[in-house]
Structure 1
């Protein structure tokens, strides 16, 4: 059986120090899949949870971490999507397996790499931009002229979302972050209307002031319990709060602001949770098509930008995971495979 090198975890799960490069079987493709030789892969916060054994994997996901990558097509399955051939430069989204020299992935989740973008930039697009697209449009029901707020505004998904919001003519785009350095980046580099440091201000009050008491139409939330009450205060009537993660933990704690649950029916607000990795291939494929149609031309002409915080060789995967765990990034961490 052919083998390849991949990032593995001693004992199957554990701390950063347990990660190492190992020889494992090379994946076999079936049906509509392609075998892609990986040039670069992007890191995501779910990778930290998966490494620790705290992320429920979908049944079709391999044990190897990583869901976004760029590379070249090595083989194609008998039922692969038309338009791809051996040697094509591509990037894409997978259920897992990107921390490796080769990945088996559905051709329905591949995109041709534009000449205008580097391998590293392309590896930072799929998970973050498709997640932002899903949260904004399919769950949040965003439309031009609406207002929107992105929590964790310097995170990769929110960086994508802020650009998408501005590109689709939001009336105003707001964000939160936990440092002045990040709020400055959000307004000066990303062009958000305003960004609020949650360590210094009551961001919900600031949003209400900025919107003359109306609130925002869409909130995209990764924080969970700590932001729950403030989200209810800041959401507009008939607005939608989209929850994608719970960085503040799974449950409300006594020290958290306790929510006024009457705001739900008084504002006719919707609170909806969503995840991308657990979705089926057809659902993800439609989002890929939306990304290609709406965002890819703007990547090519420079209207949209992939913000890469740092590029490291995959031999420094422990350093990369450490930097992400410390929340030191304003953009993507990318690893390359020589």
Structure 2
């Protein structure tokens, strides 16, 4: 098969289209003919040598989410068959003609969605559901603050939380991005380049915060959380070492948590997929939640797609298509 391979750690130019062995499958694995693959910020970290692939996953092929057609099933597969259209959460290997994955990490493509739209779903939807609704226990009527509202995680969190009855506030880097977030269901936005979100939310307070920034955001997040508030970390692009005021955590009875999805065990991912299909897929099929695709690129232009991803000017997902 052909695959986009990391020839060495570095910038976007290290990605090259090359011949690569087609994955072998066994047990409860399926082989997917990939039609589209989603890009994620973690792909950039891996390309640069800062986010190694788990054991047993191709270290030189990026890609955590794909959509396509099942062309082969292992002997223990029970939920899918050859010819099914699926999207899947991978631990890597998605930038290729074929990808293998255990069936519990696959979901049927929601009715009415294209392969391109479906490829934008797994990483962001699984991350949002796991962190905001499982770990953060966001409830109807509560207020959610999403840092990075225009990211793939942000636009997913906005729509799901809004439809399930929560108030949503986002931070963004421009008013244009903020207006798009409002159209998707956010109640308000804060432009972090011209406003201080701590000052803006000090009096109102929030119940749940999803943070991918880290650094000095920690203290600000703690200050604006209401009593019994929950802070969930999924990244720390501004640094993971920072000071923590434990006194405020105690007096406000806060919960500070976080997670990474890629390294979680198969049992967890399989159960998470079931919850996503039960609670999120109906929102998609009823048009209450829609994938937002910023731009698509042919697989052969993966380097250009990464350059766009690194600029951070997009709102929504960037997708490679075949």
How do 1:215-254 and structure 2 match up within 5 A?
215-252=205-242
CA distance in structure 1 between the partners assigned to 2:125 and 2:109 by the alignment: 15
CA distance in structure 2 between the partners assigned to 1:49 and 1:23 by the alignment: 23
TM-score by length of 1: 0.92
- Deviating above 3 A after TM superposition, structure 1's stretches of 4 or more consecutive aligned residues are 258-261
CA-CA distance at 1:250 after TM superposition = 3.3
User: Alignment RMSD, CA only?
Assistant: 1.3
Match for residue 67 of structure 2 among 37, 58, 70: 70
CA distance in structure 1 between the partners assigned to 2:52 and 2:141 by the alignment: 37
- CA deviation string 1:269-309 (max 9, x = no partner): 11112111111111011111111111112211211010000
Match for residue 297 of structure 2 among 312, 320, 331: 312
Q: In structure 2, the residue corresponding to 1:111 is in which secondary structure?
A: strand
TM-score by length of 2: 0.96
Q: Is the 8 Å Cα contact of residues 113 and 122 (structure 1) preserved in structure 2?
A: yes
CA distance in structure 2 between the partners assigned to 1:87 and 1:136 by the alignment: 34
Which structure 2 residue ranges, 5 or more long, are not aligned? none
Q: Is the 8 Å Cα contact of residues 60 and 95 (structure 1) preserved in structure 2?
A: no
CA distance in structure 1 between the partners assigned to 2:46 and 2:83 by the alignment: 31
Q: In structure 2, the residue corresponding to 1:46 is in which secondary structure?
A: helix
- CA deviation string 1:302-326 (max 9, x = no partner): 1101000001111111111011111
The answer as to 2:184 corresponding to 1:184 is no
Q: In structure 2, the residue corresponding to 1:241 is in which secondary structure?
A: strand
Q: In structure 1, the residue corresponding to 2:251 is in which secondary structure?
A: helix
- CA deviation string 1:166-194 (max 9, x = no partner): 11111x2111112111112112x112111
The answer as to 2:119 corresponding to 1:123 is yes
How do 1:182-331 and structure 2 match up within 5 A?
182-187=177-182, 189-209=183-203, 211=204, 215-252=205-242, 260-331=245-316
Which structure 1 residue ranges, 5 or more long, are not aligned? 253-257
CA distance in structure 2 between the partners assigned to 1:162 and 1:115 by the alignment: 21
Match for residue 37 of structure 1 among 33, 36, 52: 33
